[in-house]
Structure 1
Amino acid sequence: MVLENFIVLEGIDGAGTTTQLNILKSKAAEFLFTAEPTSSPTGKFLRQILKGEIQLSNETAAYIFAADRNEHINGALKIEENTLVTGIREACANGKIVVSDRYLFSSLAYQSIGCAPEIPRALNQFFPLPKLLFFFDINPEDALKRISGREQKEIFEKIDFLEKTREEYKKVLSEYDGTEAGKGMKIIHIDAMLDREKISLQIEDEINRAYGGILNGKAKNI
């Protein structure tokens, strides 16, 4: 099942999804923006795990990510400081376009490394797909250079892990791209090393095509 008003940005750490989400915010004030892990209590707990402050088995983490995602999708609509916290399905049903920085594809890529792949797949099989999925592809070495200045490191920010994650992303996306499983969802591959503005324009073009020129009043052609 595809949520028609749902857009997702995906990629390994340092790929630039958050940067592009923030750029899009300046162009689409009428959209709702969100991220995973969420800013709900469950999401805040997950961020402690990602920072290495709490240690859990990979399998347990996969269950918690899925629980956070369920509230993100199916919980009551909640908006704090112009950010959607929970209730994506309700917002989309009300005609809002929702853009999320990460979604279930992150779990299928990241969690499939630390535990048996069938676990994250089973936990995420019933969540709806976005109408547009932007995958930001980048060499892990370049990604780590981008985030080297961050004060707070996360447990996944290691070259060997990100190399495996990048390959898992490609494997996961191949399962959806042009297949029955991904019917109704369009996957757009982004070269994350391109200039920020070029990437932004590419995203804008795809959104305009999908939603009838919603960002500027008319659809663009590349």
Structure 2
Amino acid sequence: MSSGVFITLEGGDGSGKTTQAERLDRWLSEQGRTVLRTREPGGTAVGVEVREIVLHHRGDISPRAEALLYAADRAHHVATVVRPALERGDVVIQDRYIDSSVAYQGVGRVLDPDAIRGLSEWATEGLRPDLTILLDLDAGAARGRLDEARTRYDRLEAEASEFHDRVRNAYLAIAAAEPDRFLVVDAALPADEIAAAIRTRVAELL
């Protein structure tokens, strides 16, 4: 049996993660690999409920409570969906993982990023991606894309530009600290160019 491969996609809202996940899924399937596409939050029935709370709850949620909700979803998702798929030898393509919490709840919400990472590492029993694809895009450009595609913004999308600038800088800092794990791609490039760069890197893992 082929060993499983865990690939995560990260980046700000509007950076094109869904588009690239779809393209990568299609290409891997053509290579004969079984692919599981999933996301956080929302990759399980429990996660769908957590997603509604953290992204669409109309009242305030304290930053620490928000971080704990994401970690709880992640613990359940990894235990019931991700690890079983990897043990079967599947390629898991996941929209958001621990780096999202470090960037959004840690740096974005001005909490301790190391504490946020430690919480999720405990929740997932230390499961790390084989590759993380960071689709990097200026916050202003990302907002422009969202304005074209959205009629309703979730709680994080609706945050001020300063929040999204902090998130972007956090992602770049994480990637710089772990270059072997990350592929950083300019999300302003044409989608075909981005997909080609991703395929080249993923091929090295197969």
State whether residues 109 and 168 of structure 1, in contact with CA within 8 Å, keep that contact through their aligned partners in structure 2: yes
Taking a change above 3 Å as real, the CA distance of residues 111 and 175 of structure 1, as seen in their structure-2 partners, is same
1:64 aligns with 2:69: yes
**2:174 equivalent in structure 1:** 172
% identity of equivalent residues: 29
**2:83 equivalent in structure 1:** 89
1:155 aligns with 2:155: yes
Q: How does 1:105-124 map to 2 (within 5 A)?
A: 105-112=99-106, 113-114=108-109, 115-124=111-120
Letter in 2 for 1:192: A
In 1, Cα distance between equivalents of 2:143 and 2:40: 20
Letter in 2 for 1:200: A
Larger helix percent: 2
Report how far residue 154 of structure 1 moved: 1.6
**1:16 equivalent in structure 2:** 16
State whether residues 4 and 85 of structure 2, in contact with CA within 8 Å, keep that contact through their aligned partners in structure 1: no
Gaps of at least 5 residues in structure 2 are none
State whether residues 4 and 131 of structure 1, in contact with CA within 8 Å, keep that contact through their aligned partners in structure 2: no
Letter in 2 for 1:173: A
Report how far residue 52 of structure 1 moved: 4.0
Letter in 2 for 1:140: A
Aligned length: 191
Q: CA offsets per residue over residues 127-160 of structure 1, 9 Å max, x none?
A: 3111111111110000100111312202222322
1:136 aligns with 2:156: no
Q: CA offsets per residue over residues 13-40 of structure 1, 9 Å max, x none?
A: 1111111112223223321111111242
Greater mean alpha carbon deviation, residues 41-50 or residues 105-114: 41-50
Q: How does 1:2-81 map to 2 (within 5 A)?
A: 5-29=5-29, 30-48=34-52, 49-75=54-80
Taking a change above 3 Å as real, the CA distance of residues 53 and 42 of structure 1, as seen in their structure-2 partners, is farther
Partner-residue secondary structure (3-state), 1:148: helix
Measured on the aligned residues, the alpha-carbon RMSD in Å equals 1.8
Greater mean alpha carbon deviation, residues 52-61 or residues 102-111: 52-61
- TM-score, normalising length: structure 1: 0.79
Greater mean alpha carbon deviation, residues 163-172 or residues 41-50: 41-50
Letter in 2 for 1:123: L
Larger strand percent: 1
Q: CA offsets per residue over residues 14-69 of structure 1, 9 Å max, x none?
A: 11111111222322332111111124243223322213435321101111101111
Partner-residue secondary structure (3-state), 1:37: coil
**1:102 equivalent in structure 2:** 96
In 2, Cα distance between equivalents of 1:5 and 1:39: 17
Report how far residue 4 of structure 1 moved: 5.4
**1:218 equivalent in structure 2:** none
